[in-house]
Structure 1
């Protein structure tokens, strides 16, 4: 290879690292099988064609691991785990890597352009409700989808590996995801703000330990007012009913309070940073300006 060409490509990596210090270039080196935690789990949507499945496998970096446990999520699974339509087409796919206690739940939507309704904060909230902890979860789809079936895939993965999640909690978590995406879609509330609302309500339930539905309703009302979110009476009632279900299930949100605090903090930081996108745009412009100058110096 021409030395100038090689130097050019090296410069791209160096410049990218200096302009975007948060970017990491993933290694595909496998660190071997974790005998304590088990193999990574990959769950593919049944509706994927073979070529789409291969694309998703690349997106989820399945080849990064020497071995994985693979499963397929079907319409029958969505009926089994959350009472959904057994004729549903399942596209969303996931990879789950179990972690030691204390690592928390980390969600990464690999294809955010194709997961149109569910944000990583919504997934985090729903999975904490379902009782999923200490795992890295990657979500991907090769076509545009809402993202709901990924939740079912995660449930199936845990079930297949012998980890029994509470069925009622799984159903409530699915309802939570439906309510969150519905409010964002129908009411026009920003997705991050919806996630913040759900998180704050859970934190208040953990703190106040409401004993009645009326107390749950007051918590919902207070948080709506605090975040200045206006909802229809129907959606207000859906929120109250949702969290009343959680209260009746005695879900211990105090157990995952630190993760709820972290989730709130990350959401507030993003929402309060009015210059975030301006900074990103400036960084991109600066990167390409530096790159252009360097290229000109190489080939002049």
Structure 2
């Protein structure tokens, strides 16, 4: 009888502990259900029905809990080519539109948040940097594909999805410049690696926008200084292309404060993930410690 009572007591503690954990978890879910978001999913036009279903299941992880209907659109390889033809290698554009996008508008000051899956040529920061150029603000973007792809179609899909969610078009010159930026960053990434490529493009862009520089020699000087700081050797052709890109960026009259606010979302979202993980682990560890203390006490009582 005494052993049976001990077992029942241990089970009770486990049930209570589980309840506390689920309560904490459910409270965050309640917050998600309270959000009101505009969600648009853009599928690559050349996906099979089965591949679309697989991506739908994947995107549902972010879609669930939102209380707005989701709109579905497609993006074609032709639409990609309208922006990227001549700017990027043919092998990266390909002949099919596969990469797809989940786009959700966020509250003001949230910034741009990007995650990718099965995207080989473009990093989340590359997307976010280009999206800020296009004029996109406060959006959660998930780029995915059913298998490994370059991801070049996704930028066109993201922009199209955001315009659908907002109900209005973005500035055409800004969209063209964003595609040029992603193309240039991708080219550099193939030479010097993604990490250095995204850093040099962003830092040069930041300085050009912040100081409102349009003179090509001044821009070239910034490129050389930033490259030296990052231990990067750029060819004359690379520098010439980047000067042209930065002149176009400067003509968009971008605001440096707005740019930094939009890109801060990436760092914040990562910190939130780490914070949530630490919080959950902390709670679980507290419960396990309580359980260990209880078992120890029961052992002492039986001794």
Distance 1:256 1:231, change over 3 A: same
Which residue is equivalent to 2:229? 226
Written as runs of structure 1 = structure 2, the 5 A alignment for 1:124-135 is 124-135=128-139
Which of the pair is proportionally richer in helix?
A: 2
Structure 1, unmatched stretches of 5+, are: 1-6, 18-25, 268-300
Q: CA RMSD in A?
A: 3.8
Written as runs of structure 1 = structure 2, the 5 A alignment for 1:22-61 is 31=33, 34=36, 37=37, 39-61=38-60
Tell me which stretches of 4 or more aligned residues in structure 1 moved more than 3 Å: 26-30, 79-88, 258-267
Contact 2:111–2:264 (8 Å) recurs in 1:
no
Structure 2, unmatched stretches of 5+, are: 1-10, 22-27, 271-303
Contact 1:139–1:150 (8 Å) recurs in 2:
yes
Q: Distance in 2 between matches of 1:266 and 1:71?
A: 26
Distance 1:94 1:214, change over 3 A: same
Structure 1 residue 261, shift from structure 2 partner = 6.4
Q: Distance in 1 between matches of 2:102 and 2:42?
A: 6
* Among 206, 223, 227, the residue aligned to 2:209: 206
Which has more radius of gyration?
Answer: 2
* Among 121, 126, 130, the residue aligned to 1:122: 126
Q: Deviations over 1:1-58 (max 9, x none)?
A: xxxxxx9xx9xxx9xx9xxxxxxxx969972672xx5x31111111110111111111
* Among 168, 172, 175, the residue aligned to 2:177: 172
Which residue is equivalent to 1:70? 72
Which residue is equivalent to 2:292? none
Contact 2:101–2:143 (8 Å) recurs in 1:
yes
* TM-score, reference length from structure 1: 0.71
Structure 1 residue 76, shift from structure 2 partner = 3.2
Q: Distance in 2 between matches of 1:95 and 1:50?
A: 17
Distance 1:263 1:206, change over 3 A: farther
Structure 1 residue 245, shift from structure 2 partner = 1.5
Q: Distance in 1 between matches of 2:73 and 2:94?
A: 18
Structure 1 residue 258, shift from structure 2 partner = 3.7
Distance 1:140 1:96, change over 3 A: same
Distance 1:265 1:27, change over 3 A: closer
Structure 1 residue 249, shift from structure 2 partner = 2.9
Which residue is equivalent to 1:182? 187
Would you say how many aligned residue pairs link Structure 1 and Structure 2?
249
Which residue is equivalent to 2:259? 256
